[in-house]
Copies of this chain bind each other. A is one copy, B any other.
Amino acid sequence: MNITIYDVAREANVSMATVSRVVNGNPNVKPATRKKVLETIERLGYRPNAVARGLASKKTTTVGVIIPDISSIFFSELARGIDDIANMYKYNIILSNSDQNIDKEIKLINSMLEKQVDGIVYMGGKITEEHINQFKTSPVPIVLAATVDASEKTPSVNIDYEQAAFEAVQLLLDNGNESVAFVTGLEETTANALKFEGYKRALKDAEKSVQDDYLIRGDLSYQSGIKAVETLLDLNERPSAIFVASDEIALGVIHGIQDRGLSVPNDIEVVGFDNTRLAQMVRPTLSTVVQPMYDIGAVAMRLLTKYMNKEEVSDNTVVLPHQIIERNSTK
């Protein structure tokens, strides 16, 4: 049997209420008593049972984190930001991978709710009606991180994907490129749809038309970048620049170009998205849109703590600043 608060109380000749008070740092305890209790806690090796505490207090100091894939370099950076802030506020994290599968996402939310998490940080792709419904009926606050809810009903932390993409493509256009292709991941994620909007707006601003064959959709992998480039280079008129929806795909694009004997940026310029560590781990180094992943995670978690404490929050949807960093994959 484990040592309980009751054992400590008996050994210290006080009531369990008093032990509870010293464990929880309640000031209404005479210093001498506190000392005595602390000593017997030490002596017995008492370890408070957080489950019992959770049942009695209705707080678990645990938050759920739903993430598409923790092994993705992009999401793991977000997760780090979340965990660091969670830690700072004494929360633990229950982490689960969803693979962006809707059924799994809904199941995960419910499973975390059963575990009585005090809040949830949610990362995903497309937010459907079903999601919004879940979020709305949740007994605890939910914050979206790097995930956009088009209806803006759910608190969230993002950057302005449309504008960021617009600026990236504009840079390419300003560099004198006649044609800019767009290589993206799963079309279903709202963030990627917004990037596409920005791409189109930049072209329209430059009075260029959107060409279907300059638009390539694959998955989010390095390999799909290589494949995309093969398609693009087989075109009669190959593009002189490529805007890519993620750094990992962009590395594939760069290598795909180089494998064909062409040069980046002389023959083709490339701009990525995210500014993961990968952007600097390639030659030429990758020009890319800076998305502050760690900060998005950290801010989302911080925002969640406010909701959990029932503090007033002035703005539900926070938009963090982005920027374009020019390295050597552009002229």
How far is it, in angstroms, between the C-alpha of A72 and the C-alpha of B80 when the chains are bound? 10
A55 lies within 8 A of B51 (CB): yes
The one of B62, B73, B114, B255 that contacts A94, using a Cβ cutoff of 8 Å? B62
A71 interface hit (Cβ, 8 Å): yes
Q: Which residues of B contact A83 (CB under 8 A)?
A: 70, 95-97
Is B62's CB under 8 angstroms from A70's CB? no
* Residue of chain B at shortest CB distance from A137: B45
The B-contacting residues of A in range 269-291, CB under 8 angstroms, are 277-278, 280-283
B50–A115 CB distance below 8 A: yes
When the two chains form their complex, are residues A93 and B92 in contact, meaning their CB atoms are under 8 A apart?
no
Given known contacts A50-B114, A52-B55, A84-B97, A71 and B77 CB-to-CB distance under 8 angstroms: yes
Once the chains are docked, how many angstroms separate the CA of A94 from the CA of B278?
A: 28
A281 and B2 within 8 A (CB)? no
Closest chain B residue to A110, Cβ basis = B47
Give the most central of A50, A83, A139, A282: most B CB within 10 Å.
Answer: A50
Complex Cα gap A277–B276 (Å): 14
Interface string of A105-145 (1 = CB under 8 A from B): 00000111111100000000000000000000001000000
Q: How far is the CB of A91 from chain B (nearest CB, A)?
A: 10
A-B contact pairs, 5 of them (CB 8 A): A47-B113, A49-B114, A71-B77, A92-B96, A281-B281
With A222-B280, A281-B282, A283-B283 given, can you name 18 additional A-B contacts, CB distance below 8 Å? A47-B110, A47-B114, A50-B115, A51-B60, A55-B55, A79-B95, A87-B96, A87-B97, A92-B111, A92-B112, A93-B95, A94-B94, A95-B95, A222-B277, A222-B281, A251-B281, A255-B281, A281-B281
